[in-house]
Amino acid sequence: MDLPFIVTTLTRRGLLAPGRPIRVASQLNALRKWGWSLAGELRQAAARDPGRVAVIDDRGNELTYAELLDRSMRLARALRAGLGVQPGDRVAVLCRNHPGLIETVVAATLLGADAVLANTGLSPAQLETVAQEQRLRVLVHDDEFTEQTLGLPAELHRLDEQAREDLIATALPGELHPPERDGRIIVLTSGTTGAPKGARRPTPNGFGPLVSIIDRIPLHVRDRVLIAAPIFHTWGYAALQVCFALRATIVLHRRFDPAATLRDLTRHRCQALFAVPVMLQRLMETPPPEPRPPLKVVAVSGSALPGGLPAAFMDTYGDVLYNLYGSTEASWASIATPADLRQAPTTAGRPPHGTRLEIRDDDGRPVTVGRVGRILVGNEMLFEGYTSGADRERHDGLLDTGDLGRINPDGLLFVDGRADDMIVSGGENVFPAEVEQLLTQLPQVREAAVIGVPDADYGQRLAAFVGLYPGERLDAEAIREYVRRYLARFSVPRDIVFVKYLPRNATGKVLTRELRRYIG
């Protein structure tokens, strides 16, 4: 990424604003010594704005950047002295969104240990698999997850909330120096179709990754940001990184509640909200507050936006919606701005500065504009591979996302779904996501999911699972007739199942394996 573009973007977002010389020098020195890891980002923020509130939780607790750094350093020293955590060890965090999660991840990176972000929706059996495959040394967990940890190996150190607080309170004084190796962040894939895999996230090596995001999404220094997306998810963790870099005040809730979220967006005068799409659906089902929160940015990622949601949300809260398309492995591929979403509600937008995006066929050749192919992406934050040693397919420095999509003549990307989700019905290629998007544009439909299921005559067929708004009614044949009007006959779902809510994991992704149980 070219230097003039970086400087211009950092200036626009307030990162190069003048400050007290001694604090600016301390800030730059922290980045020089500790780099752009989460520990380095927290150190630079504490050096420049020590008294600024870093985190506000839903229990009324506030921590300044200086206090957050001090608690993280205390925990790091206690983990090293009391539990023997060394560079290269792995410390798992099974926590909801609150300061303790942040302190633990920072403490691990301060020591050069890898922080494993465990999904709070993991079953006890999945957690046992994660503990074994990731070779965990320590597991820090919220009290509500104690029962899930009972079957873990006895040699694994387990720390509940009180144990973590005791370590912080009793930590011995001492210096912490940059570790001999950078600690990695290991994000677990969502596991919607099987056991989660650990994906190693690279440590940024400069301002480039930050600039790629804030050039397209207008976040500024010292914004107040509510992170509703789970921090154990790539999107929530990315929000945390961006907030530290911007020395933002972060508002956290342990559980997402639409009314509480709207209340705190207003109470804390938040300019930005990071969420996953299903959270916006829940917000739209809640009466908007008066006055409206002073939002300038609502940034979402993690799953496709239902077709009717962008316009409805922006009609209520203003043209503030940004949709980032990416994955645990690819980080980001494209970002849709409010203007993009007004023009084409189902678009994933355009690649940000410094990102390569190509659509290729199965033989690796670029396809023409408008044709569907495999989405490949290149940027500074492609994952380093799975902890198992496996990797995703790569071509010419580009990572195959596993998704299918197309780019229209205006340069906008549209994602047609996972390559694995495409089905062949009676010899025709059918994309379930295309049908999903169509169904969500019906005014009676709150949410919909479409999957392929085995069929004795056609090989596979589509099954649609539809959730209606309270008080609304639709019958199966009306839905089929609606699809026939807009799509080919082989895209019409044979099975229509009405559900109250779609089964989802903690990040809002639909659990397709649960849906298959409805079909005999």
Of 318, 310, 309, 249, give the one whose Cα is nearest residue 288: 318
* Greatest C-alpha distance within the chain: 75
- Residue 117 to residue 119: CA distance in whole angstroms: 7
- Does the pLDDT of residue 193 top 50, yes or no? no
pLDDT in tens, 33-86: 999 999 999 999 999 999 999 999 999 899 999 999 999 999 999 999 999 999
Going along the chain from its start, the domains and CATH numbers come out as: 38-46+61-204 (3.40.50.12780), 428-518 (3.30.300.30)
pLDDT in tens, 3-30: 899 999 999 999 999 999 999 999 999 9
- Residue 106 to residue 39: CA distance in whole angstroms: 5
Predicted local distance difference test score (pLDDT) of residue 137: 97
Predicted local distance difference test score (pLDDT) of residue 190: 62
Tell which wins on pLDDT, 374 or 190: 374
Neighbours of 157 (CB within 10 A): 17
Predicted local distance difference test score (pLDDT) of residue 422: 83
Q: Could you tell me the pTM of the whole model?
A: 0.89
- Over residues 395-418, mean pLDDT: 93
489-510 burial: b if 16+ Cβ within 10 Å, else e? ebbbbebbeeeeebbbbbbbbb
- Over residues 339-356, mean pLDDT: 95
Predicted local distance difference test score (pLDDT) of residue 192: 47
Predicted local distance difference test score (pLDDT) of residue 520: 61
Distances (CA, A) of 42 to 274, 291, 301, 497, 512: 19, 33, 24, 48, 38
- For 106, the 3-state DSSP assignment is helix
Tell which wins on pLDDT, 75 or 290: 75
Place of tokens 């539990």: 83
Place of tokens 């990731």: 134
- Over residues 143-157, mean pLDDT: 94
pLDDT category, 457, cuts 50, 70, 90? Answer: confident
- Over residues 260-275, mean pLDDT: 97
- Does the pLDDT of residue 194 top 60, yes or no? no
Place of tokens 């929706």: 121
